Structure 1
Amino acid sequence: AALALLSHRTVDWISPPEQITRLKHRLRRSNADEVAYLARNRATTHHMDTWDGDADALIRDGHLAATGVSAIIHVPERAARFGLSSTLGDKADGYIVDDAFEDIVEQFGMLSPDGDVTLRVVTALNPFFDTTTLPIAAVAVDLMESLDTRERSAGTRVLQELLDDFR
């Protein structure tokens, strides 16, 4: 819900208005690292390899909702917003619903736990990740988990800007 609010999306799955008000107050007092910490349980993350080495096909063919570096590659305006290059790479980072996880792993022959594909598995009930273009706050938080210093810094900077604008 916090990532949705920061991305100027509606939060209609939280019922009592007091909860939304409390969340808004919390966000106004938080910095980027605190929001990333609060969002740490949004998905179960798996790092895998595809058997044919075409990790990009997972995003290109619509199997995953692009986030992190994949959002930078596949959504050009995101590259500009984060100040990162949108050159194609052999990595994929995206969200997938838990019901489709096993099928994708089997279809793409995913193997090791330390590959270039980052699968972020969410429940089918999660209304925030039901689109192929994720809100900017989610992309920022996912970039903050990158091992690449530039990606991590870009994610932190953009998330902090979203927080500053929210205030």
Structure 2
Amino acid sequence: MSLLTVGEAAERLGVSTRQVQHLVAQGHLRQIARGVVDETSVDRVLAVRGARQGRGWAEPTAWGAVAILSGNAVEWMGASQRSRLRTQLRGLSPAQLVARTRNRATAVRYAAHPASLSRLRAEIVDTSQASAPLGLAATASVDGYVELGELDAVADRHRLVQDEEGQVTLRATSMDLAVVRVLAETAVTVAALDLAESLDSRERHAGLAALERALERL
């Protein structure tokens, strides 16, 4: 594990040390000890946000964007909000879309015993199995969504150990998980966003390419 001081992380991210502490408090950066953060978590923030540190959309808006790009109804937003969001989406690049929708969930990564992975998949909205339609080989890793209030319980039940380089990614969201499941099952947009946040260049490219196609269709 490589470590950075808060000051080093702030310099790499182009933000203040106070903003780094805020990212730690939000769960976006992993603090190892007082004044020290995991370097991989800093790299992940850069992968999601890019060089420019703009504000992400609120969670309902982020999921609204996913629904529009997936061709699904956005029942939690009014007609005028949907129209404005659709207009904004037409002006975004795939990388900008990744940055704007980052608040749809808080991603936490874990190491897990291989025997627990199949049981874990059954409890979450698993998006990692969409790799084949996106041109990637099947993966043994788990990536999926859980209810925000259930994150710790799921981690405890499967004896997950927080690890930035682990094979399990749980994305905690306050959006109705039934809505997330429909979005994940009817289109690849959710999985593409997840892949576009990866530090693996092949996964990131596949995710961004799928998002570009979705934006072009819009």
Same fold (TM over 0.5): yes
Aligned to 1:48: 110
Q: Which amino acid aligns with 2:189?
A: A
Q: What are the ranges of 5 or more consecutive residues in structure 2 without an aligned counterpart?
A: 1-63
Computed over aligned residues only, the root mean square deviation of the Cα atoms, in angstroms, reads 1.9
Alpha-carbon distance in 1 for matches of 2:85, 2:175: 23
2:75 counterpart SS class: coil
- Point out the more displaced range, 131-140 or 116-125: 131-140
| Post-superposition CA distance 1:51-86 (Å, at most 9, x none) | x33353111xx111112x3432xxxxxx13x11122
**Is residue 170 of structure 2 the alignment partner of residue 119 of structure 1?**
yes
How many residues are matched? 152
Contact 1:65 1:95 (8 Å CA) reproduced = yes
2:185 counterpart SS class: coil
Alpha-carbon distance in 2 for matches of 1:39, 1:161: 17
Aligned to 1:105: 155
1:109 counterpart SS class: coil
Q: TM-score, normalised by structure 2?
A: 0.64
Alpha-carbon distance in 2 for matches of 1:133, 1:55: 23
Q: Which amino acid aligns with 1:64?
A: I
| Post-superposition CA distance 1:32-51 (Å, at most 9, x none) | 1111111011111110112x
Alpha-carbon distance in 2 for matches of 1:9, 1:55: 33
**Is residue 59 of structure 2 the alignment partner of residue 9 of structure 1?**
no
- Give the % identical residues: 29
**Is residue 201 of structure 2 the alignment partner of residue 149 of structure 1?**
yes
How far has the Cα of 1:149 moved from its partner? 1.0
Larger radius of gyration: 2
Q: Judging changes above 3 Å, is the alpha-carbon distance between structure 1 residues 27 and 121 closer, same or farther for their aligned structure 2 residues? A: same
- Point out the more displaced range, 151-160 or 121-130: 121-130
How far has the Cα of 1:134 moved from its partner? 6.4
Aligned to 1:75: none
1:9 counterpart SS class: coil
Q: Which one has more relative contact order, counting CA pairs under 8 Å at least 6 apart? A: 1
Alpha-carbon distance in 2 for matches of 1:30, 1:142: 17
Q: Which has the higher helix share?
A: 2
Contact 1:97 1:121 (8 Å CA) reproduced = yes
Contact 1:84 1:151 (8 Å CA) reproduced = yes
Aligned to 1:76: none
